[in-house]
Amino acid sequence: MDNRKVRVRFAPSPTGALHIGGVRTALYNYLFARQHDGDMLLRIEDTDSTRFVPGAEEYILESLRWLGIEIDEGLRMNAEGKIEAVGENGPYRQSERRDIYWEYVKQLLDSHQAYVAFDTPEQLEAKRKEIPNFQYDSTTRGMMDNSLTCAHSKERVENGEQFVVRFLVDPDETVTVHDLIRGDVTVNSNILDDKVLYKSADRLPTYHLANIVDDHLMGITHVIRGEEWLPSAPLHVLLYHAFGWEDTMPQFAHLPLLLKPDGNGKLSKRDGDRLGFPVFPLEFHNQKDGSVSSGYRESGYYPEAVINFLALLGWHTSGDQEIFSMDDLIAHFSLERVSKSGAKFDYEKGKWFNHQYLQMRSNEQLEKEFRPILIDKIGERAAKKYSPELVAHIIGLMKERVSFVSELWDQCNFFFEAPTEYDEKSLKKRWKEDSPKHMKELYALLKAQKDWSAEALDNLVLPWIEQQGYGLGIVMNAFRICLVGAARGPHIWAITDVLGKDESLRRVEAALKRLA
């Protein structure tokens, strides 16, 4: 069984935006598949018709495409944004596989490993109230309304009465789940209940049945999923046994959960709103409840940074390496090195990763990303005056200090716009009584200067300051305020270099008018 080709699947349900924890599950599946030259499948688990959210499926597939998680089989989004189904094992939406599941449900019914139950939700609710810790199992099914207790259940089904099919769990059996991350997990079957496998109301199976049947039919070799599934894994093992599929039962790996950055509990949609960071890869407009959730893409993250960040939440190599490309991850990833405990989500570190990836980009690349922002800020006509080369040069001066392209404007705005007001704090600290006098003299000095190179200005202004007996810091900072409007920015000659002589002098003039 172990020389089969590795096949893993990501099987989200279209009940909303793809949670960042789900993204990590998809990523780990993908890394594992690629590393073993296996297949990555995508299947949609939409067996709960009541929770379906329009657009969620598209959203999930688009997210994976954006992140560079490629799907080999099943549903995926192509470059044109169209959803396509590839592979021989379809359909890949569970809602389209009704007939398949019913065949297998019948098989279990015929072999007396499952039975039909007529108890209504209301009756079950009443039982739970009546009996503390009520569980539908070997100790209670004899007093419930099902084919085990009712002689004419066949007729009732034929008469169209609503029913469910329950899995018959034998008591006092030891069930062992071998988990690739946690080792053997053993439970007694007494704690398991007779899970509902199928509902006649919508003619759809529940997750448990659909999951096992699909994984079997699709030749899945490794089930890599969130830890929340660990408690039901013994049930799944029992189902494989019931069908006689022991030999091809996939191996399990239950991933640790992503936890809230503060406090306790697993990361939820609300935490994003509450703490001000995205918990979804892309912005999502929920058509069902009208809510809008922010996304990493729209927040200015690079997919590589999100991938890198997520990969390290719950997995690490033995070395000190922090920056991993997708190829690096594929080369180094192993399930054995996945942590067993949950990881608190540290948004600050996510920003740091984006900073790293932004620094790796060329100025020319960043210029392309920044250009729309520039146009938005100063208008198309004004932006045209700045060549790609010049803007790339400006970005080169400032990129080290930002984590996102969107932060570039606040750092670079003075290159494109003369100050219209002067930062009060800077003035208080850096604009002295003598500053107007200094600036007037500096203005005259610079006006007479022909060579405007940084080197020439340095050789001109510094000796002059010394000659006059002025303080270097006092003059330069006042000059900076004239040019920038505040005490910030790169080296002063880098600024004069970009602005040029005319604009630099104009700004000194303007400042003198306002501040003298």
Catalytic residues: 269
Q: Does 135 bind RNA (CB under 7 A)?
A: yes
Q: Which is nearer to RNA, 24 or 34 (CB)?
A: 24
Residue 390 Cβ, how far from RNA at the closest point, in Å? 19
Q: Which of 4, 152, 285, 337 binds RNA (CB under 7 A)?
A: 337
Q: Which is nearer to RNA, 34 or 480 (CB)?
A: 480
- Report how far residue 427's alpha carbon sits from residue 418's, in angstroms, rounded to the nearest whole number: 16
Residue 496 Cβ, how far from RNA at the closest point, in Å? 9
Residue 368 φ then ψ, to 5°: -65, -35
Under rule CB under 7 A, which residues in 456-475 are in contact with RNA? Answer: 472-473
**Site of tokens 């699947």:** 9
Under rule CB under 7 A, which residues in 17-46 are in contact with RNA? Answer: 45
Under rule CB under 7 A, which residues in 348-407 are in contact with RNA? Answer: 348-349, 351-352, 400-401
Q: What type of residue is 117?
A: A
Q: How far is CA 337 from the centre of its chain?
A: 21
- Report how far residue 362's alpha carbon sits from residue 344's, in angstroms, rounded to the nearest whole number: 33
Q: Does 127 bind RNA (CB under 7 A)?
A: no
Q: Does 191 bind RNA (CB under 7 A)?
A: yes
Please work out the total of residues on this chain that contact RNA, with binding judged by CB under 7 A. Answer: 81
Stretch that binds RNA, among 290-298, 336-344, 370-378, 442-450 (CB under 7 A): 336-344
Stretch that binds RNA, among 54-62, 67-75, 239-247, 490-498 (CB under 7 A): 490-498
Q: Which of 476, 499, 505, 511 binds RNA (CB under 7 A)?
A: 476
Q: Which of 320, 327, 421, 433 binds RNA (CB under 7 A)?
A: 320
Under rule CB under 7 A, which residues in 421-460 are in contact with RNA? Answer: 426, 430
Q: Which is nearer to RNA, 383 or 432 (CB)?
A: 432
Q: Which of 6, 8, 11, 71 binds RNA (CB under 7 A)?
A: 11
Q: What is the DSSP-derived secondary structure letter of residue 295?
A: B
CA torsion sign for 214, 220, 223, 224 is negative
Q: Which of 178, 182, 371, 377 binds RNA (CB under 7 A)?
A: 182
Stretch that binds RNA, among 98-106, 146-154, 339-347, 443-451 (CB under 7 A): 339-347
Stretch that binds RNA, among 54-62, 307-315, 413-421, 508-516 (CB under 7 A): 307-315
Q: What is the DSSP-derived secondary structure letter of residue 516?
A: -
Q: What is the DSSP-derived secondary structure letter of residue 120?
A: -
Residue 352 Cβ, how far from RNA at the closest point, in Å? 4
Instruction: Cis check for the bond before 91: say yes or no (omega within 30 of 0).
Output: yes
Q: Supply 486's token pair.
A: 């505040």
Closest to 202 measured CA to CA, from 232, 163, 237, 234: 163
Contact (CB, 8 A) for 358 and 366 = yes
Q: Which is nearer to RNA, 28 or 315 (CB)?
A: 315
Q: How far is CA 319 from the centre of its chain?
A: 25
Q: Which is nearer to RNA, 272 or 342 (CB)?
A: 342
Say how many C-beta atoms besides its own lie within 10 A of residue 294's C-beta: 17
- What are the residues whose beta carbons fall under 8 Å from the beta carbon of 145, sequence distance 6 or more? 117, 118, 119, 123
Residue 442 Cβ, how far from RNA at the closest point, in Å? 13
Q: What type of residue is 214?
A: D
Residue 86 φ then ψ, to 5°: -125, 145
Q: What is the 3-state secondary structure (H, E, C) of 380-414?
A: HHHHHCCCHHHHHHHHHHHHHHCCCHHHHHHHHHH
Q: Which of 216, 266, 371, 432 binds RNA (CB under 7 A)?
A: 266
Contact (CB, 8 A) for 338 and 256 = yes
Length of the chain: 516
Q: Which is nearer to RNA, 54 or 372 (CB)?
A: 54
Under rule CB under 7 A, which residues in 47-86 are in contact with RNA? Answer: 47-48, 51
Stretch that binds RNA, among 95-103, 241-249, 332-340, 437-445 (CB under 7 A): 332-340
Residue 491 Cβ, how far from RNA at the closest point, in Å? 3
Q: Which of 201, 217, 382, 390 binds RNA (CB under 7 A)?
A: 201
Q: Which is nearer to RNA, 191 or 390 (CB)?
A: 191
Q: Which of 159, 318, 420, 467 binds RNA (CB under 7 A)?
A: 318
Q: Supply 425's token pair.
A: 């704090």
Stretch that binds RNA, among 1-9, 259-267, 360-368, 377-385 (CB under 7 A): 259-267
For residue 515, count CB atoms less than 10 angstroms from its CB and return exposed for 0-12, middle for 13-18, buried for 19 or more.
Answer: middle
Closest to 308 measured CA to CA, from 277, 352, 341, 360: 352
Q: How far is CA 183 from the centre of its chain?
A: 28
Q: Does 344 bind RNA (CB under 7 A)?
A: yes
Q: Does 174 bind RNA (CB under 7 A)?
A: no
Q: What angle do CA 424, 425, 426 make, to 5 degrees?
A: 90
Residue 12 Cβ, how far from RNA at the closest point, in Å? 7
